[in-house]
Amino acid sequence: PPSPVPPITLTVEEKKPLATRAAALLVAGREALQRNDEVTARTELSDALQLGVGGTEEEFLRTELTRLGKETVLSPRIVSGDPLVDRYVIQPGDVLAKIAALNKVSPDLLASINGIADKHRIREGQTIKIVKGPFRAVVTKRAYTLDVYLGDTFVRHFRVGLGADDSTPTGEWRVATKLMNPTYYPPRGGEIIAADDPKNPLGERWIGLVGVSGAAVDQERYGIHGTSDPESIGKSVSMGCIRMRNEDVEALYTYVVETHSTVIVRD
């Protein structure tokens, strides 16, 4: 099997410029928030989070960025000058699935943010908000977290459960399949559990992954799914897959798309 990608270790001196840069971005982001410049604040705070801050500052960043993500990306609002979204006027012959595919997002997401009750029925001449995808996710194993990004912009944060005995491989994965109400086929044999059975450990969603690099390369047995045991979130008890609370994986399911969305798993 492939060897895991070795972690990048920085010396104290190498970390100092990053910490200084993160602190400056944090200040700039706070100032942008004070003047109600949501797009600039979102960019500065996202960059600060990715460079690395700690303690209460990290908690502040996640809280504010989640709020900004919901209000600027995952809502009907369009903030002037926002590069992540746009307006689109429905043309004759358009279908929401085609519009979504051109923007590398799901039709469910566009339906949700535009208040469209039936994603198969849209009206010619209607103006909708589009999001410029794809979304991607970053799983940090030591923290049991999954962060959702749109490009380099942080959007959502979730808690996850991971594989027992460090069995969730690190590296880059690509979203290969998405299934609603999946049937459970035990990877080591045993009882097949039907969709919607309360005993089904996968919950209501399955996001199948294919490994691209690192220890994940060429792996095809792993995925992200819901759980019938919410107490397992924040623990390492699965057979290697990434598990989420059912309501959380339902949200993630609307963000990621097959082929284009990626998931990075890091220690």
As annotated, the active-site residues are 225, 241
For residue 195, the SS3 value is: coil
Q: Name the nearest CA neighbour of 252 among 156, 168, 188, 121.
A: 156
- Report how far residue 222's alpha carbon sits from residue 215's, in angstroms, rounded to the nearest whole number: 12
Amino acid present at 261 = S
- Report how far residue 81's alpha carbon sits from residue 234's, in angstroms, rounded to the nearest whole number: 38
Q: Name the nearest CA neighbour of 225 among 255, 191, 180, 263.
A: 180
- Give helix 55-72 / helix 38-51 axis angle, nearest 10°: 140
Give how far Cα 136 sits from Cα of 41, 139, 157, 194, 201, Å: 20, 10, 12, 30, 24
Strand (E) or helix (H) holding 44? helix 38-51
Strand (E) or helix (H) holding 248? helix 246-255
Task: Work out the angle at residue 201's Cα, subtended by the Cα atoms of residues 198 and 205, and round it to the nearest 5 degrees.
Answer: 95
